[in-house]
Structure 1
Amino acid sequence: MKIDTDRLGMTQITAEDWELFQSLNRDSVVISLCFDEPSSEEIKASFESRLPVWNKTSKHWLCLTITLKDTGEKIGVTGFRIHDGAAEVGFLIQPTYHGLGYGAESLKALLEWAYQEHDLQSFNAVVTEGNIGSEKVLTKCGFTLKDVMPNAYEIGGKLYADHIYQCEKIVL
C-alpha cells in the first residue's frame, strides 16, 4: 500500500518506525492539544496495535508514515479507523513541518485513496478545542464542524470541548 502526492509518500507503518511514532507521542508541541503524554507502555501498545496489515474489515487504525519525497525524511503519521461505516481520521506531524501544507496534502490524498480503493464516503474527526492548526487542515480538506461537546476531554487537568468534524463528500 502506497499513497503518493507531489511532495509526499505514505506507506503503512512498520516496526522500523518506532522512533518516529514514539517521538510524535512524546513531543510536547505535538501532543499539547491532543492528549496527555502517554506512558511508555501505552505508546508501545498503541504502536503495536497499528502494525498488523490493514484491510477494510480491520478494527485497528490504518497508520501511514508521511515521508518527504525530496529528502526521504519521515515527518509524521496519518490514518483512520472505520467504525459504523465511517472513517475517523487522525494525524500527527513533527512541529518543524507545521504550517507547510503537509497535513492537508497528506489528508486529501488519504481521503481520495479511501474513496477510490474502498468506497469510503463518510469521514469524521475529533479535535480538541484550541487546536486551530488541525481545524484548518480539516476545513481545507472539506470537513465541516458538526458539533461541539463542552468539557469532553481533559488534558493536563484542564477540561476542553471536543469539536466534531464531518466530511460526507469527497471532491476529487
Structure 2
Amino acid sequence: MQLNTPRLTLKLLTADDWPLFFALHNDAQVIEKCFDKPSEVQIRAKFNERLKPWQPNSSRPLCMVIHEKCSNKPVGVTGFTASQTAHTQEVGYLLLPAFYGRGYATEALDAFLTWARGEFNIQSIKAVVSAGNIGSEKVLVKCGFKFVKVEPLAYEIAGVLIDDHHYLLDCTSKT
C-alpha cells in the first residue's frame, strides 16, 4: 500500500524502518512535548506491534512511513494508534526535526486521513496533544480537527504533569 502527495510518499512500516523509528523515539526535540525517552526494549516492542497487519476493527496500530519524494529520505511516521472501538480511531505522527516547518506533517496527515475515511467506516478520529505542542495543534486544525476539551494534568513528561488537549474529526460530516 502506498499513498502519494505532491511532495511525499507514505508506505506501510517495514522491518527496514527500524533506524527511523528508533531515531524518532530518541531525539530530544521530537519527544520533548510527547513522552519521556523510552528504553530500546520499549521502542522495539512498540515497533514490532506496528509491524503486525492492521484491521479497522482491531486494537492494533497502523503505521505509515513518510518519505520526501525529492530525496527519498524518511521524514517521519503517521498512523492510527491502538483503538478501543472500530468506528473511532486515534491518530498520531512524529517527524524528524530536520523536516519541521515544511508543512510535511499537515500534508502527510491530510493524505492519510483522506485515505482512511474513504476506505473504512470510521465515524470519528481523535487526537491528543500535550499542552505546549503548538505545532501539532496547528497541524490538527489544518486537517479539520476541532478542539473538544482540556484534560488537566493528565500526562507526565520529565516529571511534570501536563494538560492534554483533545481534538476530534467527525468523519460523518460531509462539510
Interval of TM-score (by shorter of Structure 1 and Structure 2): over 0.9
TM-score normalised to the size of structure 1?
0.96
1:2 aligns with 2:20: no
Correspondence for 1:130: 132
Q: Which runs of 4+ in 1 moved over 3 A?
A: 169-172
Higher deviation after alignment, 156-165 or 73-82: 73-82
Q: Among residues 141, 144, 155, which one is paired with 1:142 in the alignment?
A: 144
Give CA deviations for 1:80-103 in whole Å, capped at 9, x if unaligned.
133322110000000011111000
Correspondence for 1:32: 32
Deviation at 1:171, TM superposition (A): 6.6
Q: Among residues 112, 115, 121, which one is paired with 1:113 in the alignment?
A: 115
What percent identity do the matched residue pairs reach? 46
- Give the SS at the match of 1:26: coil
Give CA deviations for 1:107-140 in whole Å, capped at 9, x if unaligned.
1111110111113231100000000000000000
Counterpart residue identity of residue 132, structure 1: I
Distance (Å, rounded) in 2 between the aligned partners of 1:171 and 1:72: 35
Correspondence for 1:163: 165
- Give the SS at the match of 2:51: coil
Correspondence for 2:93: 91
Deviation at 1:56, TM superposition (A): 1.8
Deviation at 1:32, TM superposition (A): 0.1
Correspondence for 1:55: 55
- Give the SS at the match of 2:138: helix
- Give the SS at the match of 1:50: helix
- Give the SS at the match of 1:87: strand
Counterpart residue identity of residue 114, structure 1: A
- Structure 1: unaligned runs, 5 residues or longer: none
Counterpart residue identity of residue 135, structure 2: G
Distance (Å, rounded) in 2 between the aligned partners of 1:155 and 1:79: 22
